[in-house]
Chains A and B, each alone.
Chain A
Amino acid sequence: MPTQNLDSLKPGEHAVIRAISAETGLHQRLNALGFRVGKRIELVRRAQFHGPLHVRLGTTDVIMRASEAHRIQISQAA
């Protein structure tokens, strides 16, 4: 299964989080919002002009910049 980063996902696509490579501060914030290895994640939409990403994890909708999404490795879900 090829791994890629969250920021390469297209709107409407689902994936599973494989790893989070972030420093402690970012890691804790992501953890508190429900980002965990093995969780399913969906990219809902992207803002225009390389703006933030809108992702959904279970019951939680989150917006984040692409630079932060890049730290999250995923593998595409079937």
Chain B
Amino acid sequence: MKRVALLGMPNTGKSTLFNRISGASARVGNWPGITVDLMSAKILLGGYIAELVDLPGIYDLHGFSDDEQVVRRFLAHNEVDLVILVLNTTQIDRQLSLALQVRTLGLPVMLMLNMADEARRSGISVNTEAMSRQLGMPVATLSAKYGEGFPQALQLAAQTMQAAEQHPAPAEVQARLDTVTKIEQEMESIVKESVQIPVQLTDALTARLDKTLLHPWLGLPIFFIALFLLFQFIFTLGTPLQDAVAWALELGRTSLLDPLMASWPHWLSGLLLDGIYNGVGTVAAFVPLIILFFFVMTMVEDSGYLSRAAFLMDAFMARLGLDGRGFVMVLMGFGCNVPALMGTRVMRNRASRLLTMLVIPFSLCSARLQVFLFMTAVLFTPQQAPVVLFGMYLMSFAITFLSALLFKRHFKSSEPFILELPPYRFPTPRQILLRGWQEVGHFLHRASKFIIAGVVLVWVLTHYPVDAQSSLDTYAGMIGHFLSPVLTPIGIDDHLSIALIFGFVAKEVVVGSLAVIYGQQGDALTQLMAAQLDWVKGVSFMLFTLIYTPCLATIATLKTESRSRAFMWLSIGWSLSLAWIVSFVFYQGARALGF
């Protein structure tokens, strides 16, 4: 099988081109020599089956950023039959440097000048024949977004690959990579010969939009309103969809699986239904949210607004060791942590990405909100409850910022914060749909086994041994009892510690689990809990619930996105310790004050 590498600068529409070539068949895969995920797809090119690999966008083949190293390592460890280089026609005057750098590798290469549509609007014309002659590689112009020129460009790629009789081995490529070449002058002379650019080209519409959207005083309010609307859109549409998924699964269970398994041994039907089937349900509940989230994020990112958000928020975020894009993800975490963690992939620097991933789990997500709504209704008057709830949100922000401040020294970004502001663009529906589809596939592929295994484990802990009279006699109850020397000082009794173990799976199940644990339902449950708990214990429980590990899906996502077990344990360890410390200070403080 042939291998084709797709290489290009950021903001050149490289991913759009990748999607256009590969359709919906893309997979995420591991590669020798590198530690990040790369998308790849099997395609048919000039009669060959070829594997198309989407390399990260880079400015410079010899640079020191994480992405630039990934590209170098990939080329030095993997045979490549063809390099398709993607550059932005509207910025060809400076992007040609990458073409000259790639040429020195000696690999078969062809140049695709993308965004021909924008170039035409800006009055830029390219003489591809002249450029091809000077560069010594085939050149094609196209618009990956609208498909114009695409078949011809792909055909040229196939011809280039077929014409190349042999190509240097990876070791040879590595040797050539090491010799940094002088390319500046050559680049300048080619641009002078073959490209015509109007002087001081500015996209008038982009400039006008920026005037409003980046306005000194209006910019930030507009940003917050935009975020709020997007947030509302995702979660007002997502919650009914999640309910629909839950309803369908429940229907499947009561009408199909329950009757089918009625005669089966109790332990087997319990394992299959309460363990595995519920686990699948937990995974499925995230699917609508992930699709909607990336639907919106693709629009924000590809439109060019995400870089503007970074500009607006950077002054504040830089003090926390984060960058402006991280702020968007932290805010999205208030809806659901899982897609927010996946969304941090827009941050190309590993250190700042990890720091953002470390603080996102402290965002008070909609699942935790359900627990707090229930607890405040049990323990407080209707006048007090909103104040307590608001306090929880403040606490969530405070913990997020505190964690970022404490850890920023350990996740210090080595890359300078210099970002290109692309002109505003309209992403096509195809781009948006493909992205949502790919992200769901990614989540299901990576996280589902982990989540289902976790749900089964918690099911065993909370249902065994079989002779347990009440939940206090189960393994979970025993663990809760065993932990009581640690949990009693923060006001969490044996009943509530079982709820915490349930809550490890998903916060959605905590309220339901309380009914099981106390053996009461509805008003009887709230009366019993109100009698057993005072507000100090209740708030301490809420604080602990806010800060300790959000849910299994979040942990699974942390692990797969960071590609590091150590990082996952750091996140779990830090949030558990912090949860205990905060609850301890609150509980003992309140008791010392006589409450």
Is the Cβ of B64 less than 8 Å from the Cβ of A68? no
Closest A residue by C-beta to B202: A56
Main secondary structure of the interface of A (DSSP, over half): mixed
Is the Cβ of B310 less than 8 Å from the Cβ of A63? yes
Query: In the complex, which of the residues A34, A49, A59, A64 has the most CB atoms of chain B within 10 Å of its own CB atom?
Result: A59
Is the Cβ of B418 less than 8 Å from the Cβ of A24? no
B205 CB–A CB distance under 8 Å: no
- Which among B202, B311, B423 is the interface contact of A47 at CB below 8 angstroms? B311
Against B, the Cβ 8 Å flags (1 = close, 0 = not) of A51-75 are 1101010111111110010000000
Is the Cβ of A63 less than 8 Å from the Cβ of B60? no
- Tell me which residues across on chain A come within 8 A of B98, comparing CB atoms: 32
Interface residues on B, range: 35 or more
- Tell me which residues across on chain B come within 8 A of A54, comparing CB atoms: 210, 214, 311, 421
In the bound assembly, the distance between CA atoms of A70 and B65 in angstroms comes to 21
- Tell me which residues across on chain B come within 8 A of A33, comparing CB atoms: 59, 94, 418, 420
Instruction: Give the contacts of B1-48 with A (CB-CB under 8 A).
Output: 9
Is the Cβ of B312 less than 8 Å from the Cβ of A32? no
Is the Cβ of A32 less than 8 Å from the Cβ of B421? no
Is the Cβ of B91 less than 8 Å from the Cβ of A32? no
Q: Nearest chain A CB to B224's CB is how many angstroms away?
A: 13
A30 CB–B CB distance under 8 Å: yes
In the bound assembly, the distance between CA atoms of A32 and B90 in angstroms comes to 15
Is the Cβ of B416 less than 8 Å from the Cβ of A25? yes
With A52-B311, A54-B214 known to touch, is A68 a contact of B418 (CB < 8 Å)? yes
In the bound assembly, the distance between CA atoms of A31 and B197 in angstroms comes to 20
With A52-B314, A58-B93, A63-B418 known to touch, is A29 a contact of B307 (CB < 8 Å)? no
Is the Cβ of A32 less than 8 Å from the Cβ of B307? no
Is the Cβ of A29 less than 8 Å from the Cβ of B314? no
Q: Nearest chain B CB to A31's CB is how many angstroms away?
A: 7
- Tell me which residues across on chain B come within 8 A of A62, comparing CB atoms: 418-421
Closest A residue by C-beta to B308: A63
Q: How many residues of A contact B (CB 8 A)?
A: 29
Is the Cβ of A61 less than 8 Å from the Cβ of B63? no
- Tell me which residues across on chain B come within 8 A of A30, comparing CB atoms: 418
- Which among A31, A44, A50 is the interface contact of B315 at CB below 8 angstroms? A50
A18 CB–B CB distance under 8 Å: no
With A45-B214, A47-B312, A63-B307 known to touch, is A24 a contact of B64 (CB < 8 Å)? yes
Q: Nearest chain A CB to B365's CB is how many angstroms away?
A: 29
Q: Nearest chain B CB to A41's CB is how many angstroms away?
A: 12
Is the Cβ of B421 less than 8 Å from the Cβ of A61? yes
In the bound assembly, the distance between CA atoms of A51 and B197 in angstroms comes to 32
Q: Nearest chain A CB to B92's CB is how many angstroms away?
A: 9
Instruction: Give the contacts of B55-91 with A (CB-CB under 8 A).
Output: 59-60, 62-65, 90-91
- Which among B60, B422, B423 is the interface contact of A28 at CB below 8 angstroms? B60
Is the Cβ of A48 less than 8 Å from the Cβ of B220? yes
Q: Nearest chain B CB to A39's CB is how many angstroms away?
A: 10
- Which among B60, B200, B217, B311 is the interface contact of A29 at CB below 8 angstroms? B60
In the bound assembly, the distance between CA atoms of A25 and B255 in angstroms comes to 63
Q: Nearest chain A CB to B335's CB is how many angstroms away?
A: 26
- Which among B60, B64, B219, B423 is the interface contact of A31 at CB below 8 angstroms? B60
B216 CB–A CB distance under 8 Å: yes
In the bound assembly, the distance between CA atoms of A63 and B94 in angstroms comes to 17
In the bound assembly, the distance between CA atoms of A71 and B353 in angstroms comes to 26
- Tell me which residues across on chain B come within 8 A of A64, comparing CB atoms: 416-419
With A28-B64, A29-B418, A62-B420 known to touch, is A48 a contact of B93 (CB < 8 Å)? no
In the bound assembly, the distance between CA atoms of A32 and B96 in angstroms comes to 10
- Tell me which residues across on chain B come within 8 A of A49, comparing CB atoms: 315-316
A26 CB–B CB distance under 8 Å: yes
In the bound assembly, the distance between CA atoms of A57 and B312 in angstroms comes to 20
B534 CB–A CB distance under 8 Å: no
- Tell me which residues across on chain B come within 8 A of A31, comparing CB atoms: 60
In the bound assembly, the distance between CA atoms of A24 and B210 in angstroms comes to 32
- Other A-B contacts than A34-B93, A62-B418, 4 sampled, CB-CB below 8 A, are A29-B63, A54-B311, A62-B421, A64-B419
- B-to-A contact residues, CB < 8 Å: 9, 59-60, 62-65, 90-91, 93-94, 97-98, 122, 197, 200-202, 210, 214, 216-217, 219-220, 307, 310-312, 314-316, 318, 414-423
15 pairs, A vs B, C-beta closer than 8 Å: A25-B65, A26-B418, A29-B416, A32-B60, A32-B63, A33-B94, A45-B210, A45-B216, A47-B219, A51-B312, A52-B311, A54-B214, A54-B421, A58-B201, A68-B417
